[in-house]
A and B are shown apart, each in its own frame.
Chain A
Amino acid sequence: MHIHKFEQFWIRLSFVLIAFFIATVVYGFVAMDLKVIGDHATIDPQNLEETPFGNPGVREVTRNGQTEYEVYVQTIQFAFNPGTAQPIEVPVDTRVTFYITSPDVLHGFDVAGTNLNTMSIPGQVAKFTTIFPEVREYGIVCNEYCGPAHHVMEGKIKVVPKSEFDKSNLVE
């Protein structure tokens, strides 16, 4: 086989590039806490009432002696519950774990302008943990087509100082 020496060099360089990409992804994943969601649990989308999703909202939990929060969100045609009717309120600099699922069709759950971005698939529970680093409001966008009024589906996350966090809105 006749491969020109320049092309041989370029092929070696291409392998270097591929290895470099994989290395950065792994470095980000391991050392910089830039994860993706994985396989958590399946759920019967027609019977969410009997699960925590039947009473969606923010819950307080204690894990490893720390106060953390869990947020159960249902994405429905064409709203986030909670998120659309009232904002999801969470404290700053605290671990927050989201559990997201859908009783009807596929939706997206994208916190605009951040790396929080997941699909909401009927039958699957998407689970991820994050820490909001600053006090501000974020918009939530449904970024997967979900039906004729898909474009009105939006919500809000309100990140407040720990001292101002109102625990009366928590669900049990």
Chain B
Amino acid sequence: MTFLHKYPKAAKVAKANFIVAFIALAIGGFFGFVQALHRTDVFRGFFNSGEYYTLLTGHGVLLALIFTTFFIAGLFVWGVTRSLDREPENMTFTWSWFWLMTIGLVMATVAILGGLVPDSSIRAAVLYTFYPPLQAHPMFYIGLALVVVGSWMAGADWFWSYRKWRAENPNERIPILTFMALFTMLMWYVCTIGLALEVVGLLIPWSLGLVTEIEPLLPRTLFWFFGHAVVYFWLLPAYYVWYAILPKLSGGRLFSDSMTRIVFIIFLLLSTPVGYHHQYADAGISVGFKFYAMATTLLLLLPSLITLFTVVASMEHGARQRGGKGYLKWIGKLPWDSPAFVGCAFAGIMFAAGGFSGMINASMNINLLIHNTLWVPGHFHLTVGTAVALTFMAITYWLLPQLTGRKLKHKTLALIQPYTWFLGMTLMSNAMHRAGLAGVPRRTAEPQYSGFDFEPIFGTMAEMNWQIAIGGTILTISLILFLWVVVASWLAGEKSDKPVDDHIPEPLSGVEHTPAILDNMKLWFTLALILVVLAYAFPLWEMVADGIFEPGALPRPS
């Protein structure tokens, strides 16, 4: 008996979400390959430089918003169903959020890809941050809004299951797999307030022509109200895997249940009131608020540093149970031949490196050294592009057999895949960071200028361009390997009652040591809202006091 046999309805929902996620991954990944060759001037034959921005929008939206959201939905359906031991309460409701998100995703994608049709009026080359006054087709904004509303309903679905479970189990502690999912969704509810205000309150009426003018700073600020917490919405499900599943894959047990819960609570509290750290270079926001955002952002290092310790200690526990010895020699005893383990471990190593560039990004004045340079995508290809994406791919090797009742095929290819991803990302990301230090801008089709040359401090521009192009190519090969293993296993894997060892052992320091207050969702949710009000009420009021759409700028085609 595995998940499929115990919870067939939930398995079907999770699989549907994974199918959408992997299609988005395939298309968005291909766009990334084209970009890596285009901006480095290795090959520009696929599309012209104007169309580059349509591809870039597609890459950002399909990977950062669609692949993540659908994968997360599938993962949480699995975790909540399994740990509460109950199927979703009402399948009509469950399927309705899935289809709502899918309709929204199709609308947004059609609007974006319309930009590749000559003279199309349906365009959305506004990148995934869609700053006005560049204007996309209304279908783009409405589609994104539907995806978000669908994700809210998905969260409601899991809270519904939880409430039913709670009524039957009044004295139980919240199972850790449900706890982490619900706290991630609470954070999602807090931060998407900003996005909803921006998209529904400002951008949809403006793109439909109901209002003509828009104040650019206000939607930009509302976007970043949402825009930093969204990176934790991607990251926390990766932490979910690292806390709940990776210890077992390492041969050990989670080091501490309480630290896990504390980490998720800190993310709920601090993820949103930090958005200004994306606006250190903006006029119109006072230095005081930028400083407040920096202090809260750096405090957010704490839960990630705790995660570093707790997760590595859990892995060390596994290595020692497998016979590991010494201060560092135990690392060799970890299961380096297990695709799921290797992917998660490499994702964690890359995250430690990306964490450092994130500390630079977060720190107000030094941010100006790298603001909007290629350093920034260098950073987030380590975090969301590896810590999150590689974790999701790796854990698919372990989850898919549970959802399909089929064993994984092509285990060797599956094992090569995380190693190639690690290699490709090492090449691409180090070069992006160094190019950014030389001032090479991000989001630019042809970062080669006629009037001056960049003067890199480390290496040469030519060498960096080759590392980016070759790294991007290796990443594309790795992605093809992943998709091949998934499709082959899904369609032709050997059917089995127990296709994978899906048992998750209890933590070393279990829930019996965890203070009950950590499970008080109302308390933590209220505190999170208060912190957001403290950070945003006054500056937002300043921006709207002179009129919501003033000082107004006219829309420009994208």
Contact = CB atoms under 8 A, between A and B. Distances in A.
In their complex, do chains A and B touch, with some C-beta pair under 8 Å?
Answer: yes
A25 B295 CA distance: 10
A115 B369 contact: yes
Interface string B300-343: 01100110011001000000000000000000000000000000
Contacts, number: 229
Interface string A26-49: 001100001111111011111000
Contacts of A14: 301-302, 305-306
Contacts of A3: 256, 258-259
A43 B551 contact: yes
Interface in A67-116: 77, 100, 103-106, 108, 110, 112-116
Contact of A25 (B283, B285, B364, B446): B364
A121 B550 CA distance: 13
A158 to B, nearest CB: 11
A123 B127 contact: no
A18 to B, nearest CB: 5
A117 B371 CA distance: 7
Contact of B513 (A2, A113, A154): A2
Given A18-B298, A106-B131, A150 B443 contact: yes
Interface stretch (A4-12, A52-60, A163-171): A4-12
Task: Classify chain B: how many residues form its interface, as a range.
Answer: 35 or more
B551 A28 contact: no
Contacts of A34: 365-366
B302 A142 contact: no
Contacts of B53: 145, 148, 150
B311 to A, nearest CB: 12
Contacts of A43: 551
A151 B556 CA distance: 17
A25 B365 contact: yes
A7 B254 CA distance: 14
A113 B283 contact: no
Contact of A144 (B125, B372, B450): B372
B452 A138 contact: yes
B283 A119 contact: yes
A148 B50 contact: yes
B156 to A, nearest CB: 31
Nearest to A83: B451
A147 B444 CA distance: 10
Interface string B53-73: 100100000000000000000
A159 interface: no
B206 to A, nearest CB: 14
B557 to A, nearest CB: 8
B201 interface: no
A143 B439 CA distance: 9
Nearest to A144: B372
A154 B449 contact: yes
Contacts of A142: 441
Contacts of A40: 283-284
Contacts of B310: 7
Contacts of B558: 147
A149 B256 CA distance: 53
A137 interface: yes
Given A1-B513, A123-B553, A143 B373 contact: yes
B556 A141 contact: no
Nearest to B510: A2
Contact of B282 (A7, A113, A124, A154): A124
Interface string B437-466: 011011111110111111100000000000
Interface string B106-127: 0000000000000000000101
B475 interface: no
B216 A121 contact: yes
B298 A139 contact: no
A137 to B, nearest CB: 7
Contact of B439 (A6, A17, A103, A141): A141
B451 A139 contact: yes
B287 interface: yes
Nearest to B367: A36
Nearest to A116: B368
Closest 3 interchain pairs by CB? A139-B452, A112-B439, A143-B441
Interface of A: 1-4, 6-7, 10-11, 14-15, 17-18, 21-22, 24-25, 28-29, 34-40, 42-46, 77, 100, 103-106, 108, 110, 112-119, 121-127, 137-139, 141-152, 154-156
Given A25-B294, A39-B286, A106-B131, 14 more contacts: A3-B259, A21-B359, A25-B366, A36-B287, A40-B283, A46-B554, A100-B283, A112-B452, A113-B439, A116-B368, A123-B550, A143-B442, A144-B443, A145-B134
